């Protein structure tokens, strides 16, 4: 089946829907969201937990699954997946932190390393390939071009890699509770989440949220968390005010992009003056599309928060997607200036710069893309845009190398091999490092799949 992209925007929010073939059913469909702001907020919540767990926070990849149901899981090692439904239904940062702490318990406990049966039919490589392939489809505006990369992976079913034992669940609970204690945070949010799940236990399997089906649940687990809440000196610790505001913004933004605009405008009413509500309404107006109202709305937010990179990014996206590319560039530039370590913001800026067809801006785009892949070398968009910019600059050997990198990221070994070979044919002997990288990609593409 073909890929459907129901939100084309690359820069502020990319939503790519990939429907798997083979034996995949409705419950086996996964779609992903890339968003610099939401990922930054989740990482803000998660980093203290990762650190006390003895994990390197930068080594853990966070993926947002576009699914309205409650779920979070880890797969293939240090990869954390969180459903948008979990974020939207959470009432506080602490609830999300509790879930993250539990899932970190699985990573720190090495549970997935001892669950090869669960991973047999769904490796992280195939999941990442699907994420990258969907993003490539957005970037190329040609869904069929990325279909092979995404559909070439194995069928990914949630339950095929989410089966944990009751013992592992209890161990992850205890680890998560210890992580919360060591970071001085309350376990009350985790307790509240468990009570939500407890209310679903009597539902049929078809109506239960995936988290409950995949994480064996018992009353003893709730008692253990309740006991910790009753004894911990941090049980009444409140979330930092900044986290509360960010949480409200994150939920508003996700609702604005995911839900129908009319639903968003009905929930976040015009008389609500909060930043979160105005943010949601601005996104909804942009999606209608009603740019005459959306642009003044984002301008008002920027005037109030001039140092907010994500408001600048959203304005850049609005302008870019409405053909006002030259006007979009300064907005993206300001966003990157405010948040220089964001690969997604740099990729968005580079895309706009390339589309201006200005040679000087094209060279600047290359610089931003080189920085982007330094931060995030598995970003297929960055490699694709880099190939485009290098082609425009007449650097055809390097363009082929970038396409080889993109193929490797997307799991498209044929593309990776062909483009690496092409790069070696074009690059001069003096391009030693680039030629060595092309050879490495050839070898990587020739390796048999691990599963």
In order of 177, 234, 272, 310, 335, the CA distances from 315 in angstroms are 41, 41, 21, 9, 10
- Say how far apart CA 91 and CA 93 lie, in whole Å: 7
Task: Give backbone dihedrals phi and psi of 5, rounded to 5 degrees, phi first.
Answer: -110, 115
The distance from CA 232 to its chain's CA centroid, rounded to whole angstroms, is 33
- 282 prior amide bond cis, ω within 30: no
| CA–CA distance, 192 with 184 (Å, rounded to integer) | 18
User: If DSSP codes are grouped into helix, strand and coil, which group holds residue 101?
Assistant: helix
- Domains of the chain (ranges; CATH) run 35-122+157-231 (3.30.2010.10), 394-451 (no CATH)
Cα–Cα distance, 84 to 391 (Å, whole number)? 37
Give 264's contacts (C-beta < 8 A, 6+ positions apart): 255, 256, 280, 281, 283, 284
**Angle made by CA atoms 123, 129, 135, in degrees to the nearest 5:** 145
Angstrom distance (rounded) from CA 169 to CA 213: 12
Percent of the chain with pLDDT over 70: 76
CA distance 321 to 379: 21
Question: In the beta sheet, which residues pair with residue 80?
Answer: 62, 74
What does the alpha-carbon distance between residue 216 and residue 84 come to, in Å, rounded to a whole number?
A: 22
Q: Which of 230, 192, 189, 182 is nearest to 94 (CA)?
A: 189
Nearest to 383 by CA among 399, 364, 359, 362: 399
Give yes or no for a contact between 16 and 35, defined as CB atoms under 8 angstroms apart.
Answer: no
Q: What is the pLDDT of residue 41?
A: 98
Burial class (CB in 10 A: 0-12, 13-18, 19+), 448: exposed
Read off the pTM. 0.83
pLDDT value for 227: 95
Ramachandran region of residue 59, left (φ > 0), alpha (ψ -120 to 50) or beta? Answer: alpha
Tens-digit pLDDT profile for residues 322-372: 999 999 999 999 999 999 999 999 999 999 999 999 999 999 999 999 999
Calculated CA dihedral for residues 386, 392, 394, 395, nearest 10 degrees: 0
Cα 29 to chain center, whole Å?
16
Contact between 30 and 158 (Cβ < 8 Å): yes
Q: What is the pLDDT along the chain (451 residues), one digit of tens a residue?
A: 222 223 333 334 433 333 322 333 334 456 889 999 999 999 999 999 999 999 999 999 999 999 998 888 887 778 899 999 999 999 999 999 999 999 999 999 876 544 444 443 334 444 444 444 444 444 444 334 333 333 333 334 344 344 557 778 888 999 999 999 999 999 999 999 888 877 766 555 556 666 666 666 667 888 899 999 999 999 999 999 999 999 999 999 999 999 999 999 999 999 999 999 999 999 999 999 999 999 999 999 999 999 999 999 999 999 999 999 999 999 999 999 999 999 999 999 999 999 999 999 999 999 999 999 999 999 999 999 999 999 999 999 999 999 999 999 998 999 999 999 999 999 999 999 999 999 999 999 998 875 4
Instruction: Report the distance separating Cα 343 and Cα 382, nearest Å.
Output: 8
Residue 94: CB atoms within 10 A of its CB come to 26
Give the DSSP H/E element, type plus range, for residue 6: strand 4-7
| Residue 87: Cβ-neighbour burial (10 angstroms; 0-12, 13-18, 19+) | buried
What CA–CA distance (Å, rounded) separates 368 from 414?
28
| Burial call 233-262: b when 16+ CB within 10 Å, e when fewer | ebbebebeeebeebbbbbbbbbbbbbbebe
């Amino acid at each position: 089946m073909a890929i459907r992209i129901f939100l084309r925007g690359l820069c502020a929010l990319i939503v790519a829907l990939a429907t798997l073939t083979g034996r995949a059913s409705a419950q086996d469909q996964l779609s992903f969201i890339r968003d610099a702001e939401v990922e930054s907020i989740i990482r803000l919540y998660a980093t203290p937990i990762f650190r006390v767990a003895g994990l390197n926070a930068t080594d853990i990849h966070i993926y947002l699954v576009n699914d309205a149901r409650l779920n979070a899981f880890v797969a293939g090692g240090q990869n954390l997946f969180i459903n948008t439904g979990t974020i939207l239904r959470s009432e506080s940062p602490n609830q999300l932190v509790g879930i993250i702490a539990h899932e970190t318990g699985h990573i720190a406990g090495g549970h997935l390393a001892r669950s090869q049966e669960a991973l047999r039919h769904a490796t992280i490589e195939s999941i990442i390939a699907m994420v990258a392939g969907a993003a490539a489809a957005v970037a190329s505006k040609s869904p069929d071009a990325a279909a092979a990369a995404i559909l070439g992976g194995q069928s990914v079913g949630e339950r095929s890699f989410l089966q944990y034992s009751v013992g592992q669940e209890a161990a992850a609970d205890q680890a998560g509770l210890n992580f919360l204690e060591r970071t001085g945070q309350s376990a009350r949010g985790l307790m509240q989440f468990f009570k939500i799940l407890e209310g679903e236990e009597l539902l049929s399997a078809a109506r239960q949220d995936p988290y409950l089906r995949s994480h064996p649940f018992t009353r003893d687990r709730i008692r253990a968390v309740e006991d910790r809440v009753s004894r911990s000196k941090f049980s009444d610790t409140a979330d930092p005010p900044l986290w509360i505001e960010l949480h409200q913004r994150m939920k508003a933004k996700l609702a604005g992009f995911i839900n129908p605009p009319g639903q968003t405008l009905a929930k976040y009413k015009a008389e609500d003056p909060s930043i979160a509500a105005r943010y949601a309404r601005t996104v909804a107006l942009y999606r209608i599309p009603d740019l005459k109202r959306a642009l003044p709305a984002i301008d008002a937010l920027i005037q109030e928060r001039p140092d907010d990179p994500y408001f600048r990014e959203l304005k850049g996206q609005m302008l870019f997607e409405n053909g006002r590319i030259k006007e979009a560039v300064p907005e993206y530039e300001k966003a990157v200036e405010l948040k220089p370590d964001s690969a997604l913001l740099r990729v968005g800026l580079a895309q706009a710069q390339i589309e201006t067809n200005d040679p000087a801006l094209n060279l600047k785009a290359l610089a931003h893309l080189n920085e982007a892949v330094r931060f995030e070398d598995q970003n297929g968009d960055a490699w694709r845009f880099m190939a485009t910019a290098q082609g425009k600059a007449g650097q055809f050997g390097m363009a082929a190398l970038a396409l080889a990198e993109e193929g490797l990221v997307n799991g498209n070994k044929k593309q990776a091999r062909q483009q690496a070979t092409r790069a070696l044919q074009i690059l001069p002997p003096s391009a030693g490092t680039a030629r060595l990288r092309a050879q490495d990609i050839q070898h990587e593409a020739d390796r048999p799949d691990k599963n």
